[in-house]
Amino acid sequence: MIKKPKISFVTITARTDYPYTGRLDLHIFEPTMESFKAQTMMDFEWIIVDHLYDERKDYFKNMKLPFHVKHIPAHPNVWHDIGLCGVCTQYNKGIIYADGELLYFVGEGYMYIPEFCERLWAHYKQGYFPFAWYFYDNTFTPEDQISPEKVELVIPPYNISGYTGQSINIEHRPLYAFKGNNKDVYPASWEWWFGLSSTPLEAMLKINGFAQWFDGDRMLSDCDVGSRLQLAGFDKFALFRDLFSIRARTNTNTWNPKLLKDAPSIKCNLPLIHWSRFFKRFRANEYELTDEDIKWIKEEYCGKQCQLRESCRTQFPWQFPFEHKEGYGHKSQKKFYDYWRTHQVKIDLTEERQKRISGDEKYKEGTFI
């Protein structure tokens, strides 16, 4: 019997093989893989839900790695049919394949210092749902593409696939949490649950994963996870000074060529978070929004509750209320909104995981090492 890992890293991707700025020799999976090989704790697995699986399904086939890899296709996914990713559907497929006690969600192109897994697990065992912060490594970025920045936090030295952190740009959360103080841990709100967040598998199954009605537009789908976790009684979220990820910069033209180059804007996702909060629904993917629900969103939330309603009404009328309308010079088209309304997929991740564990044929496609 195979021992279950402590941590499952769930990565989604739709980028081509060599996407990194200034590093056309570096395969998309290599920076993360190399940093994983150097971890001081190897009790983890790496799940990659890949939009381009068919083109590179043999990448890991003959590798001998000190951790397990599950490289699986992103299809089937109703959004692929119209040239969009369906990010939440991808993440949920990763949850179906996950066997770790703790899940860590991340895109491609992130690197980690050797102590990362050990620290992540230690903070989790202290009772937290740990959030990691990140910064961009500009080692190979042309000077004219770098925004000068005074680094306010101490970054330990590293060298991963040639990236050394001599020039970096840090995201906003650690600067807010740790600048000018000696705090090691910062209690966070559910609004900070986004990229590089971790959650126990049990909790993700309780809320039934990512809400797939955010697909089409992916904005705020991660914050919605944090919101529904909080509704379900999980709220010990925290950012840690010593828990960070390093992000390699990618070129902008490296998406799967089958995807739309200019993705449409379909709807405002903020009301979907507040619909769930108002009606206290923490489980996703088991209910289809009705005409009455859409009416409540447009009239009650967008029309009365949203703090941005007046600016939307006057400055961004094409996106008010909720449904993004065409004819204002934006990328919105009614056909995409109609597609979203008719493609709200129901799924029970606990049931699907059990099918996978029981050997269901539809979950056998992939490279497993």
* pLDDT, tens digit (0-9, with 9 covering 90-100), for 286-341: 999 999 999 999 999 999 999 999 999 999 888 899 999 887 767 788 899 999 99
pLDDT digits (tens, 9 = 90+) for 21-78: 999 999 999 999 999 999 999 999 999 999 999 999 999 999 999 999 999 999 999 9
Higher pLDDT, 125 or 149: 125
Residues 285, 140 share a domain: no
Query: Which backbone phi and psi does 23 adopt, to 5 degrees?
Result: -135, 65
Residues 281, 248 share a domain: no
Residues 287, 195 share a domain: no
- Whole-number Å distance between alpha carbons of 268 and 172: 23
Residue 156 lies in a domain: yes
Residue 247 lies in a domain: yes
38: three-class secondary structure by DSSP: coil
Residue 128 lies in a domain: yes
Residues 251, 274 share a domain: no
Residues 311, 197 share a domain: no
Domain that holds residue 88: 7-260
Residue 68 lies in a domain: yes
Residue 150 lies in a domain: yes
Residue 96 lies in a domain: yes
Residues 118, 193 share a domain: yes
Residue 104 lies in a domain: yes
Residues 279, 170 share a domain: no
Residues 247, 113 share a domain: yes
Residues 290, 174 share a domain: no
pTM exceeds cut of 0.85: yes
- Whole-number Å distance between alpha carbons of 246 and 158: 10
- Whole-number Å distance between alpha carbons of 123 and 292: 43
- Whole-number Å distance between alpha carbons of 240 and 41: 18
- What is the number of domains present in the chain? 2
